[in-house]
């Protein structure tokens, strides 16, 4: 019965040697210099290369999209060069590794933005407090993204995807879950827009679609995946009709022909 777990699996252009995947886990070890991967991370991922595929910890696509202390990024040449030996280590052990591309949206605290407010789908505020290098601080009210913000952020995703390819990764995964930016657009508790990016489930998937199209243009659909979390509240991001919202989202994923979809497991309260 358990033999299937150890059988190879084909996902688009990816050939995993078994069906055990390592989930993305934020470790907060990219501390010196800040946001730059290091040797400890290389050891960590090499030790886990026996998985069919590793999904990296969430990795920031831009300075304005990363607000977690010591999380890694992928927007600079320095970061690309630092990721290369990590990827090579996984490959030397016979493993696959995909980079998870991350923009936190309203979850970024102004501490990381030179005092400026973060942006999101709409002018909303996350509950609770943010982790910062000087301790926990209350989240700020985000400003609604303009069309220029949207266009620039899609370009940031494209650049990050290009950098992940330069670093030697086997695939990329869009982080569309857990109450971060893509999720903030998807769900109607945080997306209050009345333009082409808000209102209907189809409109609320537009930002996700445009980001995915940019990534697919770099990687091809057969090496692109996404993570979604249709299972209740995530950092204050919730939806009045999850079947309609995530039905529309999965239709986009199907139309684009992505290699894989990861869904977050429901919490104790279920879906």
Q: Three-class SS of residue 228?
A: strand
Distance CA 128, CA 30 (A): 24
Residue 19 near residue 7, CB atoms below 8 Å? yes
DSSP output for 31-100: BTTBT---HHHHHHHHHTTTSSEEEPSPEESSGGG--STT--B-SSHHHHHHHHHHHHHHHHTT--EEEE
Helix H, strand E, coil C: the string for 132-196 is ECCEEEECCCCEECCHHHHHHHHHHHHHHHHHHHHCCCCEEEEECCCCCHHHHHHCCCCCCCCCC
Residue 180 known to be catalytic: yes
H or E element that contains 202: helix 201-204
Other Cβ atoms less than 10 A from the Cβ of 33: the count is 10
Q: Give every CB contact of residue 30 below 8 A, 6+ residues apart in sequence.
A: 36, 37, 38, 41, 70, 71, 72, 73
> What pairs with residue 102 in β-bridges?
60
Distance CA 17, CA 63 (A): 35
* Residue of 139, 157, 180, 197 marked active site: 180
Q: Which residues are catalytic?
A: 180
């Amino acid at each position: 019965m358990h033999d299937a777990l150890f059988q190879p699996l084909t996902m688009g252009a990816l050939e995993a040697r078994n069906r055990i995947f390592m989930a993305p886990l934020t470790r907060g070890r990219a501390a010196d210099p800040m946001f730059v991967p290091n040797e400890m991370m290389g050891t960590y991922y090499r030790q886990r290369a026996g998985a069919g595929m590793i999904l990296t910890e969430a990795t920031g696509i831009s300075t304005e999209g990363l607000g977690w202390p010591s999380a890694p990024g992928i927007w600079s040449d320095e970061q690309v060069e630092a990721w290369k030996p990590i990827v090579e280590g996984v490959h030397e052990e016979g493993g696959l590794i995909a980079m998870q591309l991350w923009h936190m949206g309203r979850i970024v605290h102004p501490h990381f933005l030179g005092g400026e407010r973060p942006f999101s789908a709409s002018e909303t505020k996350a509950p609770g407090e943010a982790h910062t290098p000087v301790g926990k601080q209350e989240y700020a009210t985000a400003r609604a993204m303009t069309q220029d913000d949207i266009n620039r952020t899609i370009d940031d995703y494209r650049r990050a995807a290009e950098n992940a390819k330069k670093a030697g990764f086997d695939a990329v995964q869009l982080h569309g879950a857990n109450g971060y930016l893509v999720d903030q657009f998807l769900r109607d508790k945080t997306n209050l827009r009345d333009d082409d990016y808000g209102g209907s489930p189809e409109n609320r998937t537009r930002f996700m679609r445009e980001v995915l199209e940019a990534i697919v243009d770099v990687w091809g659909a057969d090496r692109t995946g996404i993570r979604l979390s249709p299972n209740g509240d995530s950092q204050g991001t919730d939806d009045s009709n999850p079947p309609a919202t995530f039905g529309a989202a999965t239709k986009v994923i199907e139309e684009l022909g992505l290699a894989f979809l990861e869904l977050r497991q429901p919490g104790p309260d279920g879906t």
